[in-house]
């Protein structure tokens, strides 16, 4: 694996949309007991379900620690490749490489951003994060993919969504947060994104899902169905703080044009009713200094927009809420060529994220 001393745009590489073709999907097995209740046992079952659902559509690789290898091997179907790697937690979307492709040379490369656990010592979610910060490089090494590196620029995969045709959607709440790139101006940040993702237009939403501990990752509030068409997490409840956030996003998205000059079609994807941590769920999590506590009654950042788009499928989180069926129905209408599969994802939500956050696609060309 070579670390490439230039930038993707200059070399004709671009980040593809998630709906473009994948070679496979990466995940990391959960086990840390100060984030996942009961040492990750309930979450492991759900991670296995997500892996099995995705593996119906494309190859899945699960990263596991040495200590969890035997357990994971026993819980995962034999078609899931398991590789051993040390990590700090299980959010491969955020610490893994962002893959970029060059369709002329049929080449795939990685981009290795700096990772500081969603805000470093300002408002990061755990300390330390040094093992996570090496995951992108290690995955590129394993896959023999050359890699661009920009270690001083903090960025997580969940904070960017592209249409593969020159448009990127992000939130100000996240990308301009104090714990990430405080020394850079909005223009500097936009320039880095344009160079490394090869986009021409950045659409800046203001905020992400209410109380999202990632400082409002875009992947929890908005997702690209295809170029020119997005879903947006929505509520009609004007008393819910989520309403103003979603309305603000809706106004921005419907008034913007993308890199190709298109108006965006915005589909409202209604969130479930507020989901709160129960006492039993809270006591299963170890308290550790420096890790975000999980308190009884805390509202979780639940949204159906945090789904994973696979080669022939869409894997969507479900919450045992009346809006589950509506979400599946809407997504099935929007993705007629793909099979929409729901996985009950409350256990992932309890750890602070959802299906999109625990998966990272590796595109093919």
- Give the nearer residue to ligand KQY in terms of CB position, either 214 or 246: 214
Q: Does 214 bind ligand KQY (CB under 6 A)?
A: yes
Q: Which of 355, 362, 360 is nearest to 22 (CA)?
A: 362
Q: Looking at 177, 353, 360, 363, which residue binds ligand KQY (CB under 6 A)?
A: 353
Contact set for ligand KQY, span 7-36 (CB under 6 A): 35
Q: Which of 106, 356, 83, 81 is nearest to 231 (CA)?
A: 356
Q: Does 90 bind ligand KQY (CB under 6 A)?
A: no
Minimum CB distance to ligand KQY, residue 291 (Å): 7
Burial class (CB in 10 A: 0-12, 13-18, 19+), 327: buried
Cβ within 8 Å of residue 332, ≥6 positions away: 340
Q: Does 115 bind ligand KQY (CB under 6 A)?
A: no
Interface stretch with ligand KQY, choices 20-28, 226-234, 275-283, 349-357 (CB under 6 A): 349-357
Indicate if 140 belongs to the active site: no
Q: Which of 322, 319, 307 is nearest to 354 (CA)?
A: 307
Minimum CB distance to ligand KQY, residue 89 (Å): 6
Minimum CB distance to ligand KQY, residue 357 (Å): 3
Q: Does 135 bind ligand KQY (CB under 6 A)?
A: no
Cβ within 8 Å of residue 218, ≥6 positions away: 158, 159, 160, 161, 169, 170, 171, 174, 205, 208
Contact letters for ligand KQY, residues 226-265 (x by CB under 6 A): ----------------------------------------
Q: Does 217 bind ligand KQY (CB under 6 A)?
A: yes
Q: Does 348 bind ligand KQY (CB under 6 A)?
A: no
Minimum CB distance to ligand KQY, residue 73 (Å): 25
Contact letters for ligand KQY, residues 143-162 (x by CB under 6 A): ---------------x----
Q: Which single residue is written with the structure tokens 């929890």?
A: 220
Contact letters for ligand KQY, residues 290-309 (x by CB under 6 A): --x-----------------
Residue 28 to residues 3, 35, 63, 94, 320: CA-CA distances in angstroms?
Answer: 24, 14, 5, 11, 25
Contact set for ligand KQY, span 33-62 (CB under 6 A): 35
Could you give the CA distance from residue 359 to residue 92 in angstroms, rounded to a whole number? Answer: 6
Could you give the CA distance from residue 41 to residue 29 in angstroms, rounded to a whole number? Answer: 10
- Give the nearer residue to ligand KQY in terms of CB position, either 174 or 230: 174
Could you give the CA distance from residue 46 to residue 28 in angstroms, rounded to a whole number? Answer: 12
Q: How many residues bind ligand KQY (CB under 6 A)?
A: 14
Burial class (CB in 10 A: 0-12, 13-18, 19+), 104: exposed
Could you give the CA distance from residue 122 to residue 236 in angstroms, rounded to a whole number? Answer: 34
Residue 280 to residues 38, 105, 277, 326: CA-CA distances in angstroms?
Answer: 11, 54, 8, 29
Interface stretch with ligand KQY, choices 235-243, 278-286, 337-345, 351-359 (CB under 6 A): 351-359
Q: Does 216 bind ligand KQY (CB under 6 A)?
A: no
Q: Which of 92, 94, 90 is nearest to 218 (CA)?
A: 94
The residues of the shown chain that bind ligand KQY, judged by CB under 6 A, are 35, 91, 93-94, 125, 158, 213-214, 217, 292, 351-353, 357
Catalytic residues: 357
């Amino acid at each position: 694996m070579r670390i490439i001393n230039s930038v993707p745009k200059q070399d004709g590489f671009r980040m593809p949309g998630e709906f473009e073709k994948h070679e496979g999907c990466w995940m990391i097995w959960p086990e840390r007991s100060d984030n996942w209740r009961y040492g990750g046992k309930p979450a492991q079952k759900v991670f296995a379900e997500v892996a099995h659902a995705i593996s119906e559509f494309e190859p899945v690789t699960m990263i596991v620690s040495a200590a969890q290898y035997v357990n994971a091997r026993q819980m995962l179907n034999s078609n899931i490749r398991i590789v051993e790697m040390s990590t700090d937690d299980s959010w491969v979307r955020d610490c893994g490489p962002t893959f970029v492709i060059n369709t002329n040379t049929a080449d795939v490369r990685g981009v290795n951003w700096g990772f500081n656990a969603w805000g470093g010592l300002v408002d990061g979610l755990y300390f330390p994060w040094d093992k996570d910060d090496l995951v992108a490089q290690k995955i590129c090494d394993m896959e023999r993919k050359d890699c661009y590196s920009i270690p001083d620029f903090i960025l997580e995969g969940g904070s960017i969504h592209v249409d593969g045709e020159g448009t990127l959607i992000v939130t100000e709440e996240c990308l301009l947060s104090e714990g990430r790139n405080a020394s850079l101006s909005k223009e500097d940040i936009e320039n880095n994104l344009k160079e490394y993702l090869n986009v021409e237009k950045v659409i800046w939403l203001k905020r992400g899902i209410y109380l999202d501990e990632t400082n409002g990752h875009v992947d929890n509030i908005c997702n690209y169905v295809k170029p020119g068409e997005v879903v947006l997490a929505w509520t009609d409840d004007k008393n819910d703080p989520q309403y103003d956030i979603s309305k603000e996003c809706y106004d921005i998205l419907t008034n913007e044009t993308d890199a190709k000059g298109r108006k965006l079609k915005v589909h409202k994807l209604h969130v479930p009713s507020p989901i709160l941590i129960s006492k039993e769920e809270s006591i299963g999590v170890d308290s550790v200094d420096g890790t975000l506590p999980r308190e009884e009654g805390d509202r979780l950042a639940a949204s159906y927009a945090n789904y994973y788009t696979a080669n022939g499928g869409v894997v969507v989180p479900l919450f045992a809420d009346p809006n589950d069926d509506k979400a599946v129905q809407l997504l099935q209408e929007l993705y007629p060529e793909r099979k929409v599969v729901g996985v009950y994802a409350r256990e992932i939500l309890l750890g602070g994220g959802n299906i999109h956050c625990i998966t990272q696609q590796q595109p093919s060309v």
